[in-house]
Amino acid sequence: MDTSLLWRSALVQLVSVGLLFVILALALPKSFFEAWGWLTGPVAWMGCAAITARVLKMDLNDTLLGALLAGLPSVVAVLVGAHEVGGIVSIVLFGLWCGWGPRREVAA
């Protein structure tokens, strides 16, 4: 387990998701998210995971797979009305995925 990568990937994902959230919340009305949140949320999550992979020089495919798997509990959380809890759990699981096993770096 690479704990440094675990924390760095969780932090980069958290910051990128947070910044995107603020930008979208300021730019778009609440009704947009009520109608299209089911699509924009997962796309934003995966886009932020791609940013995390790029910033930390991790394999994109492995990182996106981890983001997909880590995001599944968030779907359940949204369905039961605990979106914020799902986001926290997903960030933690994403960090664990990225830190697990040998370092997966992109070849330069």
Instruction: Give residue-wise pLDDT tens across range 90-107.
Output: 999 999 999 996 555 665
- The closest of 27, 12, 30, 1 to 67, measured between CA atoms, is 12
User: Which pTM was predicted?
Assistant: 0.90
Q: Angle formed by the axes of helices 60-79 and 83-99, to 10°?
A: 160
* pLDDT one-digit tens code per residue, 45-88: 999 999 999 999 999 999 999 999 999 999 999 999 998 999 99
